[in-house]
């Protein structure tokens, strides 16, 4: 597999393994959220056993499992396409998300074992991983549970510290140039630093454009959901990819 084989990519330090983990995680989150329609279509139940792969370069791929036995890396869940039409789409995506979490965790600790991480290094690696919401949490909008108090208390304050078009428009934040108000940016970072992007899981930063889903009240980087500040001004009610795709599939 391109980018997925241990023969092609060998992270050797805790930081490198964590970077590998974040890249694979971001790729699989993209497949299950912003690229979900494409992912759904590729998981044709009429095809052979298919797997969802996430690569360190944040690219995802639906493909057949590796032919090597045993494979060079742990393999993701096999046959995800077979369950697609027998479940509600939301439940099926949640199932794939759980298996994806298990897979990227196994890959990270495979590298840790292969390169002899000691107890301290393994603990540090797990701590770094555990600070991020799981793929399952992101796909189901549950990552906001960790910061629900922050999100609910910050929705109003974010609107006050950053530009909003009007109350009829979606909640969004537009990064301010540093020369305008450095002190405001510093205060904003401290106040909202625990808020996580519902797509990539990264923390809030005042120099980036953010938008909030009016349905689940989860915040996203504009770039992660392909919304620009100009486009946001013309959206009366913003629905994130997960909320947009919460519809029953015909049985």
Domain boundaries along the sequence of the chain: 14-140, 194-250
Q: What is the pTM of this model?
A: 0.58
Query: pLDDT value at position 33?
Result: 95
Query: pLDDT value at position 241?
Result: 81
Assigned CATH topology for domain 194-250:
Herpes Virus-1 (3.30.40)
| Long-range interactions of 236-239: CB distance < 8 A, separation 24+ | 236/168, 236/169, 236/170, 237/170, 238/170, 238/171, 238/172, 238/211, 238/212, 238/213, 238/214, 239/213, 239/214, 239/215
- Euclidean distance between CA atoms 104 and 79, whole angstroms: 17
Which residue in 219, 224, 238, 195 sits closest to 33, CA to CA?
224
For the four alpha carbons of 143, 148, 152 and 154, in that order, the dihedral sign comes to negative
Residue numbers in the chain where pLDDT is lower than 50: 1-7, 144-170, 176-181, 184, 250-251
Query: pLDDT value at position 196?
Result: 84
Query: pLDDT value at position 160?
Result: 35
Query: pLDDT value at position 240?
Result: 84
Distances (CA, A) of 179 to 10, 112, 159, 164, 171: 42, 44, 21, 20, 24
- Euclidean distance between CA atoms 140 and 156, whole angstroms: 24
Which residue in 73, 70, 66 sits closest to 20, CA to CA?
73
Query: pLDDT value at position 226?
Result: 84
Query: pLDDT value at position 4?
Result: 43
């Amino acid at each position: 597999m391109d980018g997925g084989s241990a023969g092609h990519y060998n992270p050797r330090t805790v930081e490198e393994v964590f970077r590998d983990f974040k890249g694979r995680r971001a790729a699989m989150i993209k497949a299950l959220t912003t690229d979900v329609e494409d992912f759904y279509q590729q998981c044709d139940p009429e095809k052979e056993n298919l797997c969802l792969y996430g690569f360190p370069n944040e690219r995802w791929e639906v493909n057949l499992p590796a032919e090597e036995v045993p494979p060079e890396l742990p393999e993701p869940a096999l046959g995800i396409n077979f369950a697609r039409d027998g479940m509600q789409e939301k439940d099926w995506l949640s199932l794939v998300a759980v298996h994806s979490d298990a897979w990227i965790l196994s890959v990270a600790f495979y590298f840790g074992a292969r390169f002899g991480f000691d107890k301290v290094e393994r603990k540090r690696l797990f701590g770094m991983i555990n600070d991020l919401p799981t793929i399952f949490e992101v796909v189901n909008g549950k990552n906001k549970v960790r910061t629900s108090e922050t999100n609910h208390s910050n929705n109003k304050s974010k609107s006050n510290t950053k530009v909003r078009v009007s109350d009829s428009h979606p909640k969004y934040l537009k990064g301010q140039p540093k020369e305008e108000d450095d002190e405001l940016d510093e205060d904003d970072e401290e106040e909202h630093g625990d808020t996580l992007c519902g797509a990539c899981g990264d923390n809030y930063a005042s120099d980036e454009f953010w938008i909030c889903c009016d349905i689940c009240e989860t915040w996203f980087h504009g770039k992660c959901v392909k919304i620009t500040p100009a486009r946001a001004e013309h959206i009366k009610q913003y629905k994130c990819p997960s909320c947009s795709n919460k519809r029953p599939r015909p049985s």
